[in-house]
Amino acid sequence: MTELAGRFMAIPDVLSASPIFAIGLTLSAFFAGNWLFARLGKPLWMPPVVLSAVMLAAVIAVLSLDYVRYQQGALWITVLLGPATVALGIPLYQQIHHIRAMWKPIVVTLPLAATMAAVYAVVIAWAMGATPEVLASLAPKSVTAPIAIGITEQLGGSVPLMMGGLLITGVVAALFVDLLAQWLKIDDERIVGFALGLNGHAIGTARAFEISHTAGAFASLGMGLTGVFTALILPLVFRL
C-alpha cells in the first residue's frame, strides 16, 4: 500500500518532466480564470489574467514544482508570442482609414504621450533609488506584452518584473482613464479609446471594446502605435 502511495506522490514530479504538463496547467488556469471572471461579474479591477496567474502560481507552489522547469515546458506556449506580435499588424492595417481621418492629433499626441508614459515611471523609480535592472523592467510598462518582452530583454531588465508591472499598469490605466475623462469632461470616444490603448495596452483595449466599437478601434490603434514607437525609441534612449 505504501508503495502505491509512493508512486501516487511521484506523479507531479514524473509528469512535469514533459512540456505537455506545463501546457495542461497553463491552459487550465486560463479557462479557470475566465470562468471565475464571469462568475465575479467581470470586475474592472480584477481582469482574468490576474485571476489565472494567481491560480497558476498557487498550483505550482502547492505541487512544489520547480518554476524554472515549468517555464521550460511552457516555452511551447510562449514561443507563439513571436507570430502573435506579427498578427497585430493585421488589425493595424484594418484600421488604417481611422489613422488617415485622425492623423494630425495622432501624430502630435503619440510620440509625446508614449515617451512620457515611460519617462514618468522611470524618473519616479529612479528618484526613489531603483536599480538599473528595475528601471529597464519598468520602462516598457505601457507596451503590449509581446513587444514589451522583446524590449525588456534588449534593455537587460527582468521579464517577470516587467510582466507584473504591465499587469498593474493595464488595470489602473483603465480605472484612471474612466475617472479622468469624466473629470475633464471628455466624451469623444475616439480620445478615450486612444488613451486606453496608449496607456493600458491589451487590458485598456479590452476595456475600450466594452465602451463602444469606435473606442475599441482607437484603443487597438493606440496600443499598436505605442508598441512600435516605444520599441524603436527606448533601446536607442537607453543606449545613451
Residue (191 or 208) nearer to other proteins, CB = 191
Query: Which one of residues 21, 29, 207, 208 is an interface residue with other proteins (CB under 8 A)?
Result: 29
Name which of residues 90 to 109 contact other proteins (CB under 8 A).
Answer: 90-94, 96, 102, 104-105, 108-109
Report yes or no: 121 and 202 within 8 Å, Cβ to Cβ: no
Counting contacts by CB under 8 A, is residue 141 touching other proteins?
yes
Q: How far is the CB of 92 from other proteins (least distance, A)?
A: 5
Residue (49 or 217) nearer to other proteins, CB = 49
* Helix pair angle (145-155, 189-211), 10° resolution: 110
Query: What one-letter code names the amino acid at 41?
Result: G
Give the total of residues touching other proteins (CB under 8 A): 102
Name which of residues 33 to 62 contact other proteins (CB under 8 A).
Answer: 48-49, 52-54, 56-57, 60-61
Query: Which one of residues 18, 188, 210, 213 is an interface residue with other proteins (CB under 8 A)?
Result: 188
Query: Which one of residues 12, 63, 164, 211 is an interface residue with other proteins (CB under 8 A)?
Result: 164
Query: Which one of residues 17, 20, 27, 44 is an interface residue with other proteins (CB under 8 A)?
Result: 27
Counting contacts by CB under 8 A, is residue 129 touching other proteins?
yes
Q: How far is the CB of 52 from other proteins (least distance, A)?
A: 6
Query: Which one of residues 32, 46, 63, 125 is an interface residue with other proteins (CB under 8 A)?
Result: 125
Q: How far is the CB of 204 from other proteins (least distance, A)?
A: 9
Name which of residues 198 to 227 contact other proteins (CB under 8 A).
Answer: 198-199, 202, 224, 227
Question: What distance in Å separates the CA atoms of residue 217 and residue 25, rounded to the nearest whole number?
Answer: 33
Q: How far is the CB of 8 from other proteins (least distance, A)?
A: 26
